[in-house]
Amino acid sequence: MVRRSHIVMSLILWCLTATMPYAQQSCPDVDLQNLERPIVVGTKFSPPFVMGSKTAPDGLSIDLWRLIADCFRLGQDDYRYVEYGTIEELVDAATVGDVDLAISAIPITVADERIVDFSFPYFEASLGTIVPDRNRSANFKLLLERILDSNILAIVFGLLCFMVAVAVGYWWVERRSGNEFFSGGPFSGLYRALIWAALLVFQGEGDPFELKSRLGQLLVLLLMFVGVTIISSFTAIITSSLTLQALEPEVRTIADLENRTVAVINQGDAAQWAADAGITVRSLHDLSQAQRNFDEDKIEVVIHEREVLRYLINRKSLSGVKFAPLTMAPQDYAIVLPPNSPLREAINLTILTIINTPAWAVTQQKYFGTR
């Protein structure tokens, strides 16, 4: 009985500790007594960093601010949110002091650093690439479609016709020259000639001295050299175009994008990066259109903010896709503050504390899964 009571008390203490505000667990000692309230927090809608309603937003960046506010021992009446339409408007609002801080998916840039102050970075972002994640049946279907849409069937048919022409020619010439191998009636002789021609054309195997005519012997020598080259080239073409590796786009370097159908979202960071890199892309309105294009096999690669893609894949809003190894344009997200803000030192100390705690790891996993 005593042991059971001890277990119950331990559970109660654990629950109280787990639900205790973050500020009561691990926070730096900061002094905000002279700070005017309510604090105006500027935001911009940018899932999964800022989303939800204008006055009560949610998202990873908002969760970070709530952890900071807990450390500052701020109640909900001690701050309010103001939403802006663009990052530029948000930065301008911080420049003139219309907001006490701005938080969203805001990258640290040299141009903005000249007019505002940035906190320490709290998130490492980048552009990512996604490609179709096809199953075996989908790959087999695509394989058949590529065979039917390509010139491979025509090449095979041409080689078979060439083989038959060689067989008929040798049978016609050699049986008149008294070659016993091609004799024995038209069906038997032609059958033997087809087998002999198949080995000669497709494997380069043939004995010139099996033929009695000088012209036939010279043609055998020619086909032995040319035939092996033709078949090797044909095999290489089929291997490179119809293997499963070619069916699923392998995107490891920027050079791999050159021969792929690449899509980006209009007026996004990926569109600007592609323009600077000289990559030809297809512009889409949103990621739902990208999903339809993937489903219809109209595109092979999408470039977008990696964290947004991970969030949508984690929520099953994007399906049938997977990440490729290629990432580009790394950048850090931070909180924007007016120049000489009294909040800067306190926010920096608190961010350095928060990002090294399990609470921040759990918060990120909520939106992105295992990173």
Q: Which residue has the higher pLDDT, 130 or 207?
A: 130
**Dist CA 328 CA 270 (whole Å):** 9
Mean pLDDT, rounded, for 263-271: 88
Token pair 């699923």 in the structure block, residue: 248
Q: Is the pLDDT of residue 49 over 50?
A: yes
The percent of residues in the chain predicted with pLDDT above 90, rounded, is 43
The whole-number pLDDT of residue 59 equals 95
Mean pLDDT, rounded, for 202-211: 60
Per-residue pLDDT tens over the stretch 115-145: 999 999 999 999 999 998 865 455 555 556 6
Q: Which residue has the higher pLDDT, 280 or 197?
A: 280
Mean pLDDT, rounded, for 2-28: 44
The whole-number pLDDT of residue 133 equals 83
Per-residue pLDDT tens over the stretch 53-101: 988 999 999 999 999 999 998 888 899 999 999 999 999 999 999 999 9
The whole-number pLDDT of residue 17 equals 36
What does the CA dihedral 17, 18, 19, 22 come to, rounded to 10 degrees? 90
- The mean-pLDDT minimum among 7-21, 198-212, 230-244 falls in 7-21
Q: Is the pLDDT of residue 15 over 50?
A: no
Q: Is the pLDDT of residue 20 over 60?
A: no
Name the average pLDDT for the chain. Answer: 79
| Phi, psi angle pair for 258, to nearest 5° | -65, -35
Q: Which residue has the higher pLDDT, 222 or 80?
A: 80
CB atoms within 10 A of CB 33: 4
CA separation, residue 333 to residues 107, 221, 251, 330 (Å):
4, 70, 26, 10
Q: Is the pLDDT of residue 302 over 50?
A: yes
Q: Which residue has the higher pLDDT, 232 or 92?
A: 92
Q: Nearest CA to 290 among 51, 129, 146, 127? A: 129
Split at pLDDT 50, 70, 90, the class of 40 is very high
The whole-number pLDDT of residue 332 equals 94
CA separation, residue 117 to residues 65, 100, 144 (Å):
17, 11, 58
Q: Is the pLDDT of residue 309 over 70?
A: yes
Mean pLDDT, rounded, for 248-271: 84
The whole-number pLDDT of residue 234 equals 66
Split at pLDDT 50, 70, 90, the class of 369 is confident
Q: Which residue has the higher pLDDT, 36 or 18?
A: 36
Q: Sign of dihedral through CA atoms 344, 368, 289, 134? A: positive
The whole-number pLDDT of residue 11 equals 39
Per-residue pLDDT tens over the stretch 348-358: 999 999 998 88
Q: Nearest CA to 150 among 227, 242, 71, 258? A: 242
